[in-house]
């Protein structure tokens, strides 16, 4: 399993807009494209306007395929267009890729 930690630094005042976009559209669209979001956080320091989340992927090849399908989905294109009528939401996005270590098992 491949885990992708995605970190979004938002344009000022856009944190709520991205949380609304995820809640109302993106989580469902990710599921449609076989991308499972396992956790979400926002920065404890509200001034940072930063969102974090983890997406599970089978492997890097599947991750890239799923994101390509997501980015080209007409529904996503329209959601993004409408949600960014007043300007882009994300100033910077970073991904960190992680894998399980053999000596630890999380008993979910």
What tens digit of pLDDT does each residue of 1-54 get?
999 999 999 999 999 999 999 999 999 999 999 999 999 999 999 889 999 999
Q: Of 104, 26, 38, nearest to 67 (Cα)?
A: 26
- Give the per-residue pLDDT at 36: 94
Residue 83's H or E segment, with its range, is helix 74-83
pLDDT at site 6 = 98
Structure tokens at 80: 């993004």
Going by pLDDT thresholds of 50, 70 and 90, the confidence category of residue 102 is confident
> How many CA atoms within 13 Å lie on the side-chain side of 79?
20
| Residue that the structure tokens 């992927």 belong to | 57
Q: What is the pTM of this model?
A: 0.89
In CATH, the architecture of 2-99 is: 2-Layer Sandwich (3.30)
Strand-pair category, 90-99 with 2-10: antiparallel
Interatomic CA distance for residues 76 and 51, integer angstroms: 19
> What mean pLDDT comes out for the span 60-66?
96
pLDDT at 105 over 80: no
Answer whether residue 107 shows pLDDT above 70: no
Helix (H) or strand (E) holding 53: strand 50-57
């910077």: which residue's tokens? 92
> Where does the pLDDT of residue 108 fall: very low under 50, low under 70, confident under 90, or very high at 90 and above?
low
Confidence (pLDDT) at 104:
82
């Amino acid at each position: 399993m491949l885990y992708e930690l995605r970190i979004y630094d938002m344009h000022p005042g856009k944190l709520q807009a991205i949380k609304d976009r995820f809640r109302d559209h993106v989580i469902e669209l990710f599921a449609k494209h076989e991308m499972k979001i396992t956790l979400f956080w926002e920065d404890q320091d509200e001034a940072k306007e930063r969102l974090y989340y983890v997406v599970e992927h089978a492997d890097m090849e599947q991750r890239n395929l799923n994101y390509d399908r997501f980015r080209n989905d007409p529904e996503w294109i329209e959601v993004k267009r409408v949600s960014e009528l007043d300007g882009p939401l994300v100033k910077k996005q970073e991904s960190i890729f992680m894998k399980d270590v053999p000596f630890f098992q999380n008993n979910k």
